[in-house]
Amino acid sequence: MTLESWMVDGLGWIGSALLIVAYFQNSRNKMNAQSVVYQVLNVIGSFLLIINTVYYGAYPSSAVNIVWVFIGAHYLNKNMKRET
């Protein structure tokens, strides 16, 4: 395994962990799905998974994560505008 693939795997695991934390906290009613923190976790997590899935050629997963980033970014932008 090359250093590059180790790094890409690490990014994928971090991205997965961020998505799981956001979902788990939301399911426990500890984090609102409309909150900035929830959206940031989703956007960063999905972005890291995009890097991983494109690297390995898992394009259906890449597509899902690209959509996930756009959804998260949209609502993050909406939340930021509401707070100003």
Distance, C-alpha 35 to centroid of its chain: 14
Ranges under pLDDT 50 in the chain:
none
Tell me the pTM.
Answer: 0.92
pLDDT, residue 32, reads 94
- Domain enclosing residue 14, as ranges: 3-83
Which residue, among 10, 7, 41, 8, has the nearest Cα to 26 in the 3D structure?
41
Largest CA distance in the chain: 47
pLDDT, residue 71, reads 96
d(CA 56, CA 9) in angstroms, rounded, equals 10
Q: How many domains does the chain have?
A: 1
Distance in angstroms between the alpha carbons of the first and the last residue of the chain: 47
